[in-house]
């Protein structure tokens, strides 16, 4: 059982306990007198009883509010307080509407949790999802209560010249009266009903980039991106991304912008990436501000995705929202899928699209697969939670997106092989049925299936929905047998999903396996003949039984199976490929994803073999990778047909985290040593090729963040990293010198940062001065300083120096724990992104972690709970790490006044 701060049991919320609200709130009229120390909030609502629910009291949620007055239909009334709820029992009978006025105050300047109304850089911002609105006023703080909002903001005009809320600005002006000298107001009306988690207000000294657009239907809209004065020159990319998002949603799904005005506001104090408040998106500056001097290509593509994501929520999340928070993936999985598709559709060619897909899958495998196998594992639609903020996870988001992607795949047909048309029809059906409602994941899946009768999805809908209900990553085992005489190839696919604490046995999933056959000798794509039908060169197999056998006929030569093309399902594929078969796929597969995958499998295989080897044979010889594999990588690097971005992905070894996931027992130091050995081997064996790669790709021309030129920079950066690594072993000073020069002369942040990274990553003696110079040059750019902190915290740990450096940086004048971006840049980069620096035999990394979790928890529980998850996988650790990690978890769990957020995470980690 979990305990709250005061020792009372924490409430476990269960999906099966859902009941409709006892009251509906039809209208909300809010008036704010904004003051950092004491903001006054007058909330006038019209409510009515829900006739479908037995009569009972009205229970309104509230947190850290001072209540001054409650009036029902203009009259005083009796009320009581019960566990953070305002309970009203003497309300009018019947279902006639009545008014309720609640007057409260709150203290935004003291709000370090950044939930509800808070102050950042002298401006006011709000964050209400999931349950922050109750920190602003008493309310039915649940997503299925949708109301019409009118909001009046009143504040000092000089300090807060810009006053924003959702919807349309209907009135503004100066306030009259002696009490109101120097104050002004703005009144906003949102034309759309919404749940309270989508409410937002912003007030402060801000400036806007503005753009007027005309939609396909001919309606005019005003787009605005608000930032602090001085940052306007960094808003062009965000605005372009917004315009591209609007055009894409109209073109692909027929979903137009439904507001006269759409605003994005950036703040540097934000718990996550951004928030889709209706018409008034609030963003972390990290996902808005970019120019070539301060932002990398990765930042640019992050901005495009997040701007798209929040915009796409306007329909998937806002117009149709979640019935309850268990349905979170209804909006998040779907909207991640939409932002992934958006970014892919913006890619100029198939290679860039494949690169985007590989990047997305990498996130899934390095973050979601571990989550699904660890103590926080939960289904895409969870069954219970203590703190909903802990369930904004890679499972709900990224795995949820894969579930939607599989639906698209499964509504495909010969005329629509990818299922794009079928899925778009399904979306149309979804909006036709549910626009303006708060619904469930089941409703979504039903709409997609109903719009595609006869599809593989419609035929197996109930079974398909197990993807929402069962946690864990299924494993698909594949075995192939070629009969040369009969020219048949028999492919046996079986599936298994390991039991988890919450679900002791799992039923078979519906797994779409997109596949082809590649001639082992010829490298040609072979024709696919199955059950008397010819399927061209690619086919979709649907695995829905524990085991199925597929027999291909007229197979003219021994094939290598290319399975799960484009990563058609979020599973682990086990197939006993020989090295030669993988090399064939790497060289010839027509599916770019599986070419990359073949290289990853080979690299993983060599890594795992070296880790398992008892003697340090490989380490002493420097031979971790086979010569054939190194040659194959050289061939990829030199292949004029392949794009630089794709090459960069193939030549990047699997991460330490991903390698760790393949192992039953994890020794992070051993994994690090082997991976570094592999990197050194590639650095030396391909030295001449890296020189060529750098020289051939170093000039990407006038800066543009497009996929092609960012690919050139990525490959040049990788080459430079390897060249500096080789220099460390050989004592060469030329390449580090050239790297330093490039660092100094770079015309954009990507090249500059890659050069700095190469120096730091190779432990070059030139790194220190370069870091100092970088700090001086960018000391006024918060987002660049975050990179500076992160680079040092994530640096390769040669001799255990990183922790000392991180501890020193905690005391740096630019460091503060209160700013989430800064806390993440130093502390998360060390605890989450530097396994060898963090998992120390002396346990000092864990001691540091425990201190920071507890310290952060007192400031911002949501951020602390994210950090708490750094030890999720402690049970897999070898000794002495495992024991020490457990001790650190126990120490945190023993702290008396932990937040629910952190307590849920550490208690789950420690549970058997
Ligand atoms: N919906 C928000 C996330 C809110 C997180 C609350 N802890 C951003 C997004 O997914 O678009
Ligand atoms: Zn989202």
- pLDDT, tens digit, 9 for 90 and up, residues 452-461: 999 999 999 9
In terms of DSSP H, where are the helices of 136-286?
Answer: 236-253
How many residues belong to the chain?
912
DSSP class of residue 325 equals G
Ligand nearest to the CA of 335: 2
Residue 502 pLDDT:
78
339 lines ligand 1 (CB under 6 A): no
In the chain, what is the straight-line distance between the N-terminal and C-terminal CA atoms, in Å?
13
Q: How far is the CA of 337 from the centre of ligand 2 (A)?
A: 10
pLDDT tens figures, 128-147 = 999 999 999 999 999 999 99
pLDDT tens figures, 3-18 = 444 445 689 999 999 9
Output the CA–CA distances (angstroms, integers) from residue 18 to 2, 129, 139, in the order listed.
Answer: 21, 19, 18
312 lines ligand 1 (CB under 6 A): no
- 229 in a domain, yes or no? yes
Q: How far is the CA of 277 from the centre of ligand 1 (A)?
A: 10
539 CB contacts (<8 Å, ≥6 apart)? 514, 515, 516, 528, 530
- Ligand 1 atom closest to the Cα of residue 332 is 10
- 719 in a domain, yes or no? no
- Asked whether the predicted pLDDT for residue 538 surpasses 60, the reply is yes
Q: How far is the CA of 156 from the centre of ligand 1 (A)?
A: 30
Q: How far is the CA of 322 from the centre of ligand 1 (A)?
A: 13
φ, ψ of residue 176 to 5 degrees: the values are: -90, 170
- Asked whether the predicted pLDDT for residue 575 surpasses 90, the reply is yes
Output the CA–CA distances (angstroms, integers) from residue 550 to 275, 528, 531, 701, in the order listed.
Answer: 46, 11, 9, 51
Q: In b/e form, how buried is each residue of 874-888, taking b as 16+ CB within 10 angstroms? A: bbbbeeebbebbbeb
Hey, whose CA ends up nearest to atom 8 of ligand 1? 275
Ligand nearest to the CA of 866: 1
Instruction: Choose the final residue of a domain: 431, 451, 469.
Output: 469
Cβ atoms of 910 and 872 within 8 Å: the answer is: no
pLDDT tens figures, 54-63 = 999 999 999 9
Hey, whose CA ends up nearest to atom 1 of ligand 1? 275
389 lines ligand 1 (CB under 6 A): yes
Are 501 and 454 in a shared domain?
no
Q: Which of 419, 479, 482, 473 is nearest to 451 (CA)?
A: 419
Are 236 and 195 in a shared domain?
no
Ligand 1 site-directed mutation target among 114, 127, 272, most atoms within 8 Å of CB: 272
Calculate ∠ Cα 157-162-166, nearest 5°.
130
Q: How far is the CA of 335 from the centre of ligand 2 (A)?
A: 6
The helix/strand/coil state of 912 is coil
Cβ atoms of 278 and 198 within 8 Å: the answer is: yes
- Ligand 1 atom closest to the Cα of residue 862 is 7
Residue 217 pLDDT:
86
- Ligand 1 atom closest to the Cα of residue 389 is 7
The helix/strand/coil state of 49 is strand
33 lines ligand 1 (CB under 6 A): no
Are 5 and 60 in a shared domain?
yes
For residue 880, say if its preceding peptide bond is cis, omega within 30 degrees of 0. Answer: yes
- 852 in a domain, yes or no? yes
Q: How far is the CA of 822 from the centre of ligand 2 (A)?
A: 22
The model's confidence at residue 108, banded by pLDDT at 50, 70 and 90, is very high
The H or E element containing residue 124 is strand 123-127
Residue 155 pLDDT:
98
Are 188 and 298 in a shared domain?
no
Q: Which of 900, 827, 816 is nearest to 865 (CA)?
A: 900
Q: How far is the CA of 7 from the centre of ligand 1 (A)?
A: 30
299 lines ligand 1 (CB under 6 A): no
Ligand nearest to the CA of 392: 1
Hey, whose CA ends up nearest to atom 4 of ligand 1? 129
- Ligand 1 atom closest to the Cα of residue 271 is 7
398 lines ligand 1 (CB under 6 A): no
CA dist 144 and 324 (Å) reads 7
Q: What is the CATH number of the domain that holds 265?
A: 3.30.2010.30
Are 37 and 137 in a shared domain?
yes
310 is catalytic: yes
Are 311 and 415 in a shared domain?
no
Q: How far is the CA of 156 from the centre of ligand 2 (A)?
A: 33
pLDDT tens figures, 384-406 = 999 999 999 999 999 999 999 99
pLDDT tens figures, 685-698 = 999 999 999 999 99
CA dist 151 and 163 (Å) reads 11
Task: Tell me what percent of the residues of the chain surpass a pLDDT of 70.
Answer: 98
Are 39 and 155 in a shared domain?
yes
129 lines ligand 1 (CB under 6 A): yes
Mean confidence (pLDDT) of the chain:
97
Q: What is the DSSP string of 701-768?
A: -S---SHHHHHHHHHHHHHHHHHHHHHHHH---HHHHHHHHHHHH-SSHHHHHHHHHHHHHTT-TTHH
pLDDT tens figures, 50-93 = 999 999 999 999 999 999 999 999 999 999 999 999 999 999 99
Are 383 and 415 in a shared domain?
yes
Residue 670 pLDDT:
96
In terms of DSSP H, where are the helices of 122-191?
Answer: none
The model's confidence at residue 912, banded by pLDDT at 50, 70 and 90, is confident
Residue 4 pLDDT:
46
Ligand 1 site-directed mutation target among 198, 275, 325, most atoms within 8 Å of CB: 275
Hey, whose CA ends up nearest to atom 7 of ligand 1? 389
Are 91 and 126 in a shared domain?
yes
pLDDT tens figures, 819-877 = 999 999 999 999 999 999 999 999 999 999 999 999 999 999 999 999 999 999 999 99
Q: How far is the CA of 328 from the centre of ligand 1 (A)?
A: 10
Q: How far is the CA of 394 from the centre of ligand 1 (A)?
A: 12
- 649 in a domain, yes or no? no
pLDDT tens figures, 227-250 = 999 999 999 999 999 999 999 999
Hey, whose CA ends up nearest to atom 5 of ligand 1? 129
CA dist 447 and 144 (Å) reads 19
Residue 619 pLDDT:
64
Residue 9 pLDDT:
64
Task: Tell me what percent of the residues of the chain surpass a pLDDT of 90.
Answer: 97
- 230 in a domain, yes or no? yes
- 692 in a domain, yes or no? no
282 lines ligand 1 (CB under 6 A): no
φ, ψ of residue 718 to 5 degrees: the values are: -65, -45
SS3 string, 862-892, reads HHHHHHHHHHCCHHHECCCHHHHHHHHHHHH
Q: Which of 79, 39, 42 is nearest to 59 (CA)?
A: 79
Q: Which of 308, 252, 299 is nearest to 281 (CA)?
A: 308
- Asked whether the predicted pLDDT for residue 761 surpasses 50, the reply is yes
413 CB contacts (<8 Å, ≥6 apart)? 419, 422, 455
- 829 in a domain, yes or no? yes
824 lines ligand 1 (CB under 6 A): no
CA dist 533 and 551 (Å) reads 12
Instruction: Choose the final residue of a domain: 144, 170, 205.
Output: 205
Are 232 and 356 in a shared domain?
no
Give residue 554's domain range: 477-570
309 lines ligand 1 (CB under 6 A): yes
Ligand 1 site-directed mutation target among 276, 282, 327, 395, most atoms within 8 Å of CB: 276
Q: In b/e form, how buried is each residue of 178-188, taking b as 16+ CB within 10 angstroms? A: eeeeebbbbbb
Q: Identify the active-site residue in 63, 131, 276, 310.
A: 310
CA dist 724 and 583 (Å) reads 28
Residue 1 pLDDT:
40
Sign of torsion over alpha carbons 723, 725, 730, 734: positive
275 lines ligand 1 (CB under 6 A): yes
272 lines ligand 1 (CB under 6 A): yes
- 416 in a domain, yes or no? yes
Residue 6 pLDDT:
45
Residue 2 pLDDT:
45
Total structural domains within the chain: 5
Interval 356-361 mean pLDDT:
98
For residue 130, say if its preceding peptide bond is cis, omega within 30 degrees of 0. Answer: yes
Greatest pairwise CA separation for the chain in angstroms = 99
Residue 871 Cα to chain centre, angstroms: 19
310 lines ligand 1 (CB under 6 A): yes
901 lines ligand 1 (CB under 6 A): no
Q: What is the CATH number of the domain that holds 162?
A: 2.60.40.1730
Q: What is the CATH number of the domain that holds 809?
A: 1.25.50.10
Are 102 and 88 in a shared domain?
yes
Are 201 and 212 in a shared domain?
no
Instruction: Choose the final residue of a domain: 163, 190, 205.
Output: 205
- Asked whether the predicted pLDDT for residue 654 surpasses 90, the reply is yes
Cβ atoms of 205 and 160 within 8 Å: the answer is: yes
């Amino acid at each position: 059982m979990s305990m709250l701060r005061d020792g009372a049991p924490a409430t476990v919320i269960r999906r099966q306990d859902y009941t409709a609200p006892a009251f509906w709130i039809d209208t909300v009229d809010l008036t704010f007198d904004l003051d950092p120390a004491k903001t006054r909030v007058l909330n006038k609502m019209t409510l009515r009883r829900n006739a479908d629910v037995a009569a009972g009291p009205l229970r309104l949620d509230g947190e850290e509010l001072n209540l001054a007055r409650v009036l029902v239909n203009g009259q005083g009334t009796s009320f009581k307080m019960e566990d953070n709820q305002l309970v009203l029992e003497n309300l009018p009978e019947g279902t006639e509407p009545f008014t309720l006025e609640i007057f409260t105050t709150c203290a935004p300047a003291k709000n370090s949790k950044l939930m509800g109304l808070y102050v950042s850089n002298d401006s006011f911002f709000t964050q209400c999802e999931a349950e922050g609105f109750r920190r602003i006023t008493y309310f039915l703080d649940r997503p299925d209560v949708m109301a019409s909002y009118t909001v009046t903001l009143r504040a000092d005009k000089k300090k807060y010249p810009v006053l924003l809320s959702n919807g349309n600005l209907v009135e503004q002006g100066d306030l009259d009266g002696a009490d109101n000298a120097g104050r002004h107001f703005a009144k906003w009306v949102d034309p759309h009903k919404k749940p309270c988690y989508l409410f937002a207000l912003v007030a402060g000294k801000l400036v806007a980039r503005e753009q007027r657009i005309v939609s396909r239907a001919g309606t005019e809209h005003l787009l605005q991106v608000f930032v602090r004065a001085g940052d306007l020159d960094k808003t062009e990319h965000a605005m372009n991304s917004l315009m591209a998002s609007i055009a894409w949603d109209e073109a692909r799904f027929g979903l137009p912008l439904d507001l006269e005005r759409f605003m994005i506001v950036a703040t540097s104090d934000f718990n996550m990436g951004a928030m889709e408040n209706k018409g008034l998106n609030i963003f972390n500056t990290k996902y808005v501000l970019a120019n070539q001097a301060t932002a990398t290509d990765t930042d640019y593509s992050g901005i495009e995705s997040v701007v798209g994501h929040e915009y796409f929520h306007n329909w998937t999340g806002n117009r149709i929202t979640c019935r309850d928070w268990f349905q979170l993936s209804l909006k998040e999985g779907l909207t991640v899928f939409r932002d992934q598709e958006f970014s892919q559709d913006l890619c100029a060619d198939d290679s860039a699209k494949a690169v985007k897909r590989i990047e997305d899958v990498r996130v899934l495998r390095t973050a979601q697969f571990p989550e699904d196998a660890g103590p926080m594992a939960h289904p895409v639609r969870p069954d219970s939670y203590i703190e909903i903020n802990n369930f904004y996870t890679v499972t709900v988001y990224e795995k949820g997106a894969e579930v939607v992607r599989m639906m698209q795949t499964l509504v495909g047909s010969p005329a629509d092989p990818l299922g794009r048309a079928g899925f778009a029809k399904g979306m149309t059906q979804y909006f036709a049925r549910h626009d303006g409602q708060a619904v469930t994941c089941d409703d979504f899946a039903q709409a997609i299936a109903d719009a595609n009768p006869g599809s593989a999805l419609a035929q197996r809908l109930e079974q398909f929905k197990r993807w929402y209900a069962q946690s864990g990553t299924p494993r698909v085992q594949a075995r192939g047998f070629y009969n040369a005489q009969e020219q048949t190839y028999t492919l046996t696919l079986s599936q298994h999903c390991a039991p988890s604490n919450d679900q002791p046995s799992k039923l078979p999933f519906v797994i779409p396996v997109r596949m082809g056959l590649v001639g082992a000798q010829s490298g040609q794509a072979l024709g696919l003949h199955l059950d008397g039908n010819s399927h061209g060169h690619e086919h979709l197999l649907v695995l829905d039984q524990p085991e199925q056998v597929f027999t291909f006929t007229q197979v003219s030569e021994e094939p290598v199976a290319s399975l799960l093309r484009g990563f058609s399902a979020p599973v682990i594929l086990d197939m006993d490929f020989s090295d030669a078969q993988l090399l064939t796929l790497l060289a010839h597969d027509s599916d770019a994803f599986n070419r990359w995958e073949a290289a990853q499998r080979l690299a993983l295989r060599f890594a795992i073999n070296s880790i398992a080897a008892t003697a340090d044979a490989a380490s002493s010889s420097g031979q971790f990778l086979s010569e054939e594999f190194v040659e194959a990588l050289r061939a990829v690097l030199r292949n004029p047909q392949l794009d630089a971005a794709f090459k960069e992905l193939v030549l990047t070894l699997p991460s330490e985290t991903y390698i760790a996931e393949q192992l039953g027992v994890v020794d992070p130091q051993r994994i690090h040593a082997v991976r570094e050995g592999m990197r050194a081997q590639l650095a030396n064996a391909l030295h001449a090729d890296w020189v060529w790669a750098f020289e051939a790709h170093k000039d990407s021309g006038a800066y543009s963040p497009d996929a092609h030129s960012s690919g050139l920079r990525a490959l040049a950066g990788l080459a430079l990293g390897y060249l500096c690594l080789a220099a460390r072993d050989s004592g060469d000073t030329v390449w580090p010198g050239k790297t330093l020069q490039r660092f100094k002369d770079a015309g954009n942040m990507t090249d500059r940062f890659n050069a700095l990274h190469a120096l730091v990553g190779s432990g070059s003696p030139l790194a220190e001065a370069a870091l100092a110079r970088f700090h001086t040059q960018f000391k006024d750019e918060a987002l660049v300083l975050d990179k500076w902190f992160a680079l040092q915290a994530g640096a390769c740990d040669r001799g255990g120096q990183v922790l000392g450096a991180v501890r020193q940086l905690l005391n740096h004048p630019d460091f503060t724990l209160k700013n989430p971006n800064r806390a993440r840049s130093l502390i998360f980069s060390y605890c989450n992104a530097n396994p060898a620096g963090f998992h120390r035999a002396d346990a000092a990394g864990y001691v540091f972690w425990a201190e920071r979790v507890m310290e952060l928890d007192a400031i911002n529980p949501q951020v602390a709970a994210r950090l708490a998850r750094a030890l999720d996988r402690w049970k897999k650790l070898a000794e002495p790490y495992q024991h020490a990690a457990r001790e650190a978890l126990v120490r945190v769990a023993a702290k008396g006044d932990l937040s629910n957020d952190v307590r849920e995470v550490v208690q789950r980690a420690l549970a058997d």
